[in-house]
Amino acid sequence: MGIDSIDLAYTTLSPMAMGKRKRQATQASIWVATQDLPRSAAHPFYARLNQILDQHDFDGFVEGLCERFYADEGRPGLPPGRYFRLLLIGYFEGLDAERAIAWRAADSFALREFLKLVLPEAPPDHSTISRTRRLIDLETHEAAFTWMLQRLADAGLVNGKTVGIDATTLEANAALRSIVRRDTGESYQDFLTKLAQASGIETPTRADLARIDRKRKKKGSNDDWTHPHDPDAKITKMKDGRTHLAHKAEHAVDLETGAIVGVTVQDADDGDTTTCVETLIDTAERVETVRPEGEGIEEIVGDKGYHSNQSLVDFEAVGIRSYISEPDRGRRNWTKHPTARDAVYRNRRRIRGPRGRRAYCGFAASAWNGPSPISMRPAASVACTSAVTTTFASAC
């Protein structure tokens, strides 16, 4: 049947004239009634999240925490409750920069409502967000995280018995070309130039410097080099193979509920078996704070990076059962290490049992849907920023 033969009388839609774009320039209206402004339906997730925050007076709590960071006079700054909500937007929307967070908040009517912005208020720009983040110290972020974790515990979302730990390297907002020597403070370019001149090249070119740099060993040692504006960033190899200044964020997840119960940011060049000690201690203290009647952490689940003789011995020493995936190290000689042998064998039996398989499946699911911190400026704020966002994600 051809298009021309279709009878509009038999269609379910009534005929409608086609609208055409007006080509001539038109003058915008000077006055517009507020009820005539375009509105979008509130996002059900953000609406529900705001209800939870208002129910527990989140804004009043963080305003009391951050009051000491604001002056008594002057232009009103960014409200603390709105600042933390902006961090949440960055996490939920997958935004890794403050400019992107500010743009997204200005572009969405649903997010404006989440931020409790009314006409003619405008969302804060990226510089205001950045200054507020630098203004609030680490301890205040930690207090906000503990408050949120307490809300989760009150709702029965924190058990703390079985905890999964995983880490990732996060690229720092610092360039390798800006690193300086720890002892002399000279730049990488100046250091190579001196090496070239010492080898007999009076005026080295960029090609000469690149050739000298390729022949050097341990040229990216963190013992010799640091970044002047981000000394916590370490030179490390990223998961995609690139070498960059980075931080290491490690998260502890309650595998029974999916709640984030601990977050630490540590040196990117430290191994998992080293960093997990601080993360486990921090997590145990937080779980004990929000659930003082609980029994604390009893089981830990991790991937192959956390497997070592000493780590398994240490877990047993504090009464924690480990479910750590074991790498293939071949046949081993345990003659001089009977204690480590027993700990490794017991861990091996646990991960091969039904309980270990279920625990590791839950850990893999949590790691796949794991959190991502918002910003890497500076490193001290990242731990609590990530904790804030991921805890809210678990709560809702």
Tokens of 158: 């924190």
Same domain for 270 and 373: yes
pLDDT at 396 over 50: no
Look at residue 12 in the predicted model and tell me its pLDDT. 61
Dig out the tokens for 119 from the structure.
């006409």
Question: Coil, strand or helix: which one is 250?
Answer: strand
Sign of CA dihedral 136, 140, 146, 147: negative
Could you read off the pLDDT of 112-144 as tens digits, one per residue? Answer: 989 998 877 888 999 999 999 888 998 898 888
Residue 189 amino acid letter: Q
Residue 366 lies in a domain: yes
Query: Do 284 and 337 fall into the same domain?
Result: yes
Q: How high is the pLDDT of residue 81?
A: 93
Distance (Å, rounded) from C-alpha 264 to C-alpha 371?
13
Provide mean pLDDT across the span 269-295. Answer: 92
126 and 245 together in one domain: no
Give the CATH number of the domain where residue 334 resides.
3.30.420
Average confidence score pLDDT of the chain: 82
57: left (phi over 0), alpha (psi -120 to 50) or beta: left
What is the percentage of the chain residues whose pLDDT exceeds 70? 82
Contacts of 222 (CB under 8 A, 6+ apart): 234, 235, 267, 269
Mean pLDDT of 74-100: 87
Residue 380 has pLDDT above 60, yes or no: no
For residues 252 and 162, membership in a common domain is answered with yes
Q: What is the mean pLDDT of residues 9-19?
A: 61
User: Distance between CA atoms of 160 and 152, rounded to whole angstroms?
Assistant: 12
Q: Does 223 have pLDDT greater than 60?
A: yes
Tokens 């001089």 appear where?
336
Residue 40's pLDDT is 65
Q: What is the mean pLDDT of residues 162-171?
A: 90
Regarding whether 165 and 130 lie in a shared domain, the answer is no
The pLDDT of residue 384: 40
Tell me the range of 182-186, 312-316, 371-375 where mean pLDDT is highest: 312-316
DSSP-based three-state secondary structure for 338: helix
pLDDT digits (tens, 9 = 90+) for 228-277: 999 999 999 888 888 899 999 999 999 988 888 998 999 999 999 999 99
389 pLDDT more than 80: no
Whether residue 21 lies inside any domain: the answer is no
What confidence tens digit (pLDDT) does each residue in 56-83 have? 999 999 999 999 998 888 778 899 999 9
Tell me: pLDDT of 285 over 70.
yes
Helix axes 58-66, 80-92, angle to 10 degrees: 110
Residues 277 and 256 in one domain: yes
Instruction: Report yes or no on 299 lying in a domain.
Output: yes
Residues 19-62: pLDDT tens digits?
666 666 566 667 777 666 666 667 888 988 899 999 999 999 99
Q: Are residues 211 and 261 in the same domain?
A: no
Report the alpha-carbon distance of residue 391 to residue 314 in Å, rounded: 28
Higher confidence at residue 176 or residue 370?
Answer: 176
Number of structural domains in the chain: 3
Tens-digit pLDDT profile for residues 147-158: 989 998 998 889
The answer to the question of residue 145 being in a domain is no
**pLDDT at position 375 over 60:** no
The H or E element containing residue 366 is: helix 354-368
- Assess whether 58 and 203 both reside in one domain: no
Which of 89, 80, 387 is closest to 250 using CA atoms? 387
Q: Are residues 166 and 299 in the same domain?
A: yes
pLDDT value of residue 206: 84
Residue 388, domain member (yes or no): no
100-118 mean pLDDT: 90
The reported pLDDT for the residue numbered 200 is 84
Residue 322 falls inside a structural domain: yes
DSSP per position, 150-215:
HHHHHTT----SEEEEEEEEEE-S--GGG-EETTT--BHHHHHHHHHHHTT-SS--HHHHHHHHHH
Predicted pLDDT of residue 387: 42
Backbone φ, ψ for residue 324 (5° rounding): -105, 125
Q: Which amino acid belongs to residue 279?
A: T
Q: In the prediction, which pLDDT does 75 show? A: 79
Q: How far apart are CA 132 and CA 140, in angstroms?
A: 12
Give residue-wise pLDDT tens across range 315-339: 999 999 999 999 988 899 999 999 9
Segment 281-298 shows an average pLDDT of 91
Is residue 235 situated within a structural domain?
A: no
Q: Are residues 203 and 117 in the same domain?
A: no
Residue type for 160, please? G
The DSSP string of 283-313 is HHHHHHHH-TTS----EEEE-GGG--HHHHH
Could you tell me the residue range of the domain that residue 65 belongs to?
A: 40-135
Examine the domain organization and report whether 165 and 313 are in the same domain. Answer: yes
Let me know whether 338 and 272 are in one domain: yes
pLDDT of residue 275: 93
